[in-house]
Amino acid sequence: MPKPGRKRTRSQAHGGLDGTGDDDSNSADMTDVRLGDDEGQDNARRQAHWDLPAGYDDRNRAFLQAFMARGALSFKQVQHLLAGIFNAERKRQQNGREEAGDEGLLQADEINLDDMREFVSKAQQALAPLDFDIRSAVDQVRNERLWALVSTDRDPKSHLAVLLTPRKLAFVHRLLAAMFDTYNTPRLEAMCMTEQQALKLSRPPRTTSRASEVGAGDGGGTQAAANRDKGLKHSVVLSLLQSLVRQGWLDKSASGFYAPTTRALLELEPFLVEAFNDEGGGTDAWQRIKYCAACRDVVTIGLRCAQTTCTLRLHDHCETAFWRTQAGAAGGNRTCPRCQTAWTGGSAAADAQSYVGERAITLTDVYKRRKRQGRPSEGVDELMRTVLPRTVPAAVMSFRAGQASQADDGEDDEDEEG
């Protein structure tokens, strides 16, 4: 996403995606972008910086605008979108003719993957100079491939910052730290949380001894910034969570657990790896951001080897295809190819230890007992007290120090965040 601040975006400063500037609606060439007032400089810059792909027209602009509005689209959604675009173009061309009508309109199921790939490819070429891209992954819950508009800027401050005030952004950082650190250990890889756990993050954590050392190293600036961040009211946190779900950054399950969506993982993957994984850990070392052994995409919901020191992870939708490639698995005697432990994930004998995501919580005896008592959130708290590490990893402390420094910018935010 674009970088934070109130500066104009590159498309606003250099011209819109339709090839014109804000006050230049009569451009002779609709396939180029006006980069300046001087026509000679404009032509030179246009050739050097941004040439839209050949054949890029109003249909491509409409497609890209829909992607920008929705954030992520499935193939079925793209079928309806492209059918509408093609039909609108047909009606425009037939405007005023006697044969104009609804007969012969393109149906959504007539749009194929090749049609979609052509539009996605041209959109990617148009977006590349602006540090944006369209990437895809299979949704871990719905088992359908999604295409998402993502920022390729590795600066973590650019992610979500354009939509959020500094204090709300600091809360989102605390939310990510909790999901990928606190609720993500070798014994329990949940990477999700309930509303009650999220409310506990409304205020910055109290300064730990490690945080004090970080603050002392930079003249106390980090600690002072953390002290100035007053956090958010609970009502603001609840509203923000609902907003993140509506915008497609978080999923809320039927059991009330919030987890990052496919769009969020595609957008934030480089940042999450840099913030939470240990450098030089090796391929066999346990890391907080893990990848599916079959498709190589990030796993936050899926299956795991029951051996806590083993690093094999699979998406639910990848399991069948994965075991087809493993010798000796056809008879049902599945063993982990990395540690030779009996594989129980996805079977009737599977327990919470065999899962990644909310099932790592909801299948535990502690959670089941508390849920029967009508207090499932207490079950999460009780469970986490038994598995939380006693020390906070240095990578997470560095991450928290970074988000604390941003709190200084939010000192004068609107009153409802006080």
Q: For residue 192, is it within any domain?
A: yes
Centroid of chain to Cα 61 = 24
Question: How many helices (H) does the chain have, and how many strands (E)?
Answer: 16, 11
How many C-beta neighbours within 10 Å does residue 121 have? 12
Per the rule left: phi > 0, alpha: psi between -120 and 50, beta: everything else, 48 is alpha
Q: What pLDDT is attached to residue 25?
A: 39
Among 9, 34, 52, where does a domain finish? 52
Which token pair is 104? 């012969």
- Give the structural domain span for 21: 1-52
Q: For residue 286, is it within any domain?
A: yes
Whether 328 has a pLDDT exceeding 80, the answer reads no
Closest CA to 163 of 235, 248, 228, 234: 248
34 shares its domain with 163: no
Q: For residue 80, is it within any domain?
A: no
Residue 293 pLDDT grade (very low, low, confident, very high; cuts 50, 70, 90): very high
Domain containing 302 — which CATH number?
Answer: 1.10.10.10
Instruction: Give the residue with greater pLDDT, 135 vs 95.
Output: 135
Q: How many domains does the chain have?
A: 2
Q: For residue 122, is it within any domain?
A: no
Cα–Cα dist 202/235, whole Å:
10
Cα–Cα dist 315/288, whole Å:
16
| Residue-wise pLDDT tens digits, 1-44 | 444 444 444 344 443 334 344 444 343 343 343 434 455 455 44
Q: For residue 406, is it within any domain?
A: yes
Residue 103 pLDDT grade (very low, low, confident, very high; cuts 50, 70, 90): low
Q: For residue 372, is it within any domain?
A: yes
356 shares its domain with 227: yes
171 shares its domain with 28: no
DSSP state, residue 136: E
168 shares its domain with 41: no
